[in-house]
Amino acid sequence: MAPTSIPDRPGSELPVPELPVPREPGAPYRVCLVCLGNICRSPMAETVLRAAIEAAGLDGAVIVDSAGTGDWHIGGPMNSGARAALTSRGYDGSAHRARQIGVSWLPERDLFLAMDARNLADLRRMAGAQSRDRIRLFGEVGGLSDVDGGEIPDPYGGNAADFGYVLDLLGRAAPVVAGRLAQVLDPASGGRAAPA
């Protein structure tokens, strides 16, 4: 599944629509990352995005969590391949427990970032007209539209290289997502982190 490297083609600078404005100005901006099982991609994305948010000085201003559209792994730990990939880069995925997203979550988050087109379609079907503009692709917001259309491939059942590739994609996109979050929270910042 994993290519040997992530293509870096012209086109990654294509304009991406602005993120939705905060539901409650002054309250933390809540971002939920969504995949199928909530044991591989979205918890890895949650880990690296949280680190990027901290690096951008947005700690406390943005709250990140994750969920799956499926119910198979509710309450279970992160997949061992996902955890091993995180560990190899200095992250700790041991505290994660899988959850399934429900309709009640929709009005409680400012932004849902789906890992692939199926997750996006499932979320949009669940939302109907509600919250639709708050549901986007993680890779699109993270500047990966030139790589597999911004979809993060499913590494479930794959090998260490597959999980490493997914983590490369997530790690490349996370600072871009954090920059866009900085911009929507403080349009005057131009997407740069506020000085400490």
Given the rule CB under 6 A, which residues bind ligand 4NP? 35-41, 68, 72, 154, 156
Query: Toward ligand 4NP, which CB reaches closer, 35 or 141?
Result: 35
Instruction: Name the active-site residue from 30, 41, 136, 180.
Output: 41
Output the residue with the shortest Cβ distance to ligand 4NP: 37
Instruction: Name the active-site residue from 122, 154, 162, 180.
Output: 154
Residue 48 tokens read as: 């690296």
In whole angstroms, the minimum distance from the beta carbon of 5 to ligand 4NP comes to 21
In whole angstroms, the minimum distance from the beta carbon of 37 to ligand 4NP comes to 3
* H/E segment holding residue 174: helix 160-185
Distance CA 85, CA 92 (A): 10
In whole angstroms, the minimum distance from the beta carbon of 73 to ligand 4NP comes to 6
What three-state secondary structure class fits 53?
helix
Sheet holding 29-35, edge to edge: 62-68, 29-35, 111-114, 135-137
Query: Toward ligand 4NP, which CB reaches closer, 58 or 144?
Result: 144
Cα–Cα distances (Å) from 8 to 11, 13, 180, in that order, read 9, 11, 20
Phi and psi angles of residue 58, each rounded to the nearest 5 degrees, phi first: -105, 15
In whole angstroms, the minimum distance from the beta carbon of 186 to ligand 4NP comes to 32
Decide if 41 is catalytic.
yes
Query: Toward ligand 4NP, which CB reaches closer, 35 or 86?
Result: 35
Query: Toward ligand 4NP, which CB reaches closer, 19 or 40?
Result: 40
Decide if 154 is catalytic.
yes
Residue 60 tokens read as: 């406390």
Distance CA 119, CA 180 (A): 21
Decide if 35 is catalytic.
yes
Which residues form the catalytic set? Answer: 35, 41, 154
